[in-house]
Amino acid sequence: MENNFHELLTEKINLGGQLINCLQKYDKVDGAQKLQRKIKQELNFLKKVSRDQTVKKEHLQCSNLTHFNALIQTLNEIENCQSINKVFNLEGRKISIDIVCDNGLSWVKVIARNPKSLNQICMGDTGYGVRSVIDQAEEYLECAYLHPCLFQTPKITFVFYTGISYTLAAKLESLGIIVKGNRIEHDINDTQELQCSDLSTKNTSHITKINLDVSAMLAYVSSVTNGSCNKYEFSVPVLAQQAKWECEKPVKPILENYFKGKTLYCCETAKSSFIEIVNTVGGPNEKIRAMEFLKQISVLPDNATVQDTQDVNLNERTNNVQLLPSKSLEVGGKIRERSLTIFKFGDRIQAVTVTANDGFIRAAKQQGIHFVVFVHESRALTEQKELKARRIE
C-alpha cells in the first residue's frame, strides 16, 4: 500500500510539472503567474514529503493539483481569456472567479469534485461550513449582478470536470447557471436526494398547523402558478426555467392539497415582507390574489408560541422544538435574519414550515438543526415580466 502511495505521489508531481508547462502560453493573462506560484508551492510540498518519506493518503486526497488540472484543461478550451482567479468584492468578502473571458461578459467556475460528493454536500451531509455548489452559484449570481460589464450582467458557467447528476444540473440551470460536463444518472436514492420531497420532513400528517414562509406565499399567488406558465416566453433564464417546470409539475395544486384540513399561520415579519415584495414587483392580479390569500392566514407576532395558536393540543409535547437555549443558529451565509425569524416562529408554534428556501434548510442541517418542513419548488412573481415577454400563440 505504501509503494502505491509513492507511485501516486510521483504521478501528482509529474502532473504538477506538466501544468506549469501548460501555463506558459498564458503567461500574459492576468492571474496566470499567481496560479503558477500556487502550483509550485503544491509541488514543493509534495516533493518534500516524498524526500522525507512521510507521504500519507491525505496528502494525495487533499492535493489542489486535481483542481488546478481541471482549471487549466478548461482554460485550454476557452477563447479570449482575460483573467484567472479574478477577485471581486461581495458584501465585504472576496469572491474568486476561476476564469473571466468573452471581454468580461462570461465568468467560469471549474468544479473537480466527484458527482456523488457534490450531491451529498448539497443535502447538508457534510461538516459545518462546507458550502454546496448551489450556495456558490447563488453567490456568483449575486456578485455578477453587482459587477456589470459593458452594461450587462456577466453570464455564469459551471464546468463539472468529473460530471454532474441530472438533478443537480437542473437545479443550477433553474437558477440561471450554464452547466457544462457529463450528465450522470446516479442510482435512484442519490437522484431523489435533491428532489424537494426528499428535503421535506417525513411523517408530518398528524401536524395540522402550517407556518408559511414568504417563498410559499409568493409561489401561491404568482401569475406563473395561476395559469400563465404556458402563455409567455421569458428572456430571463430563471423565469423561463420556472415556467417550464410549472408546466411539468404545477406547484399550486401541491400546496392546496397540503393545506387541506390545516390551519395556516405566518408571523408578522413574513406578512410584512410578503406585502412589500408584492407591492414592489407584483402585477395587479398578483396583488389581488395576495390580499385574498392573507385573509386565509392567521398572523401572529414573531415571538408567538404554541400557546398562542388556535388549535393547541394539550397532549402535545412542547419540548420537541429545535431551538432550545442550548441550541441556536448563527446568522451568516444562507442563514439570513428574516428567514431565521420565520423558521423559529414555525418551530415555536410547532407547525410545519412550508418553504422553497432549501438553502436555509441545508445550512441549518450543517449546524445540527433539523426544522420540520415541507419543501416545494420556487416560483417568482411574473405578471410584470409578462408585459415584456413574447406571448406564445
Q: 221 φ, ψ to 5°?
A: -105, -5
Among 70-84, 164-178, 214-228, 342-356, the minimum mean pLDDT is found in: 164-178
130 versus 302: the higher-pLDDT residue is: 302
Task: Read off the pLDDT of each residue in 250-268 and give the average, rounded to a whole number.
Answer: 94
pLDDT number for residue 73: 92
pLDDT tier, 314 (very low <50, low <70, confident <90, very high otherwise) = very low
Q: Is the pLDDT of residue 303 over 80?
A: yes
pLDDT band at 192 (very low <50, low <70, confident <90, very high): very low
The pLDDT assigned to 46 comes to 79
Share of the chain above pLDDT 70, in %: 84
User: How confident is the model at residue 64, as a pLDDT?
Assistant: 82
Output the average pLDDT for the chain: 84
> In the predicted model, what is the mean pLDDT of residues 289-306?
95
Distance CA 270, CA 187 (A): 38
Could you give the count of Cα atoms lying within 13 Å of 362 in the half-sphere of its Cβ?
27
Confidence of residue 190 (pLDDT cuts 50, 70, 90): very low
317 pLDDT band, cuts 50/70/90, is very low
Name the pTM for this structure: 0.59
Statement: residue 376 has pLDDT above 60 = yes
Those residues whose C-beta lies under 8 Å from the C-beta of residue 95, and which sit 6 or more positions away, are 87, 88, 89, 139, 140, 143
| Sheet strands (E) in the chain | 81-90, 93-101, 106-111, 155-160, 164-165, 178-180, 183-184, 209-212, 232-233, 263-267, 298-300, 352-355, 373-375, 390-391
Using DSSP, how many helices (H) and how many strands (E) does the chain show?
17, 14
Q: Phi/psi of residue 132, each to 5°? A: -80, 165
The whole-number pLDDT of residue 187 equals 45
Say yes or no to pLDDT of 128 above 90.
no
Q: Does residue 208 register a pLDDT over 60? A: yes
Q: Can you tell me the mean pLDDT for 150-162?
A: 92
- What is the per-residue pLDDT across 244-257, written as a single tens digit (0 to 9) for each? 889 988 999 999 99
Would you give the DSSP letter of residue 86?
A: E
Asked whether residue 355 carries a pLDDT value surpassing 70, the answer given is: yes
| Position 324 confidence tier, pLDDT thresholds 50, 70, 90 | low
User: Is pLDDT at 339 greater than 70 in this prediction?
Assistant: yes
Min mean pLDDT across 12-16, 153-157, 281-285, 331-335 is at: 331-335
Chain segment 68-124, per-residue pLDDT in tens: 999 999 999 988 899 999 999 887 888 999 999 999 999 999 999 888 888 777 765
CA dist., res. 199 & res. 128, Å (int): 18
Query: For residue 76, what are the contacts with CB-CB under 8 A and spacing of at least 6?
Result: 22
pLDDT at position 16 over 80: yes
Higher-pLDDT residue of 60 and 223 is 223
Confidence at residue 334, expressed as pLDDT on a 0 to 100 scale: 72
Residue 198 φ/ψ, nearest 5 degrees? -85, -10
3-state helix, strand, coil in the chain (%, to 5): 50, 15, 35
The per-residue pLDDT for 298 is 95
Q: What is the pLDDT of residue 188?
A: 38
- pLDDT of the residue at 11: 80
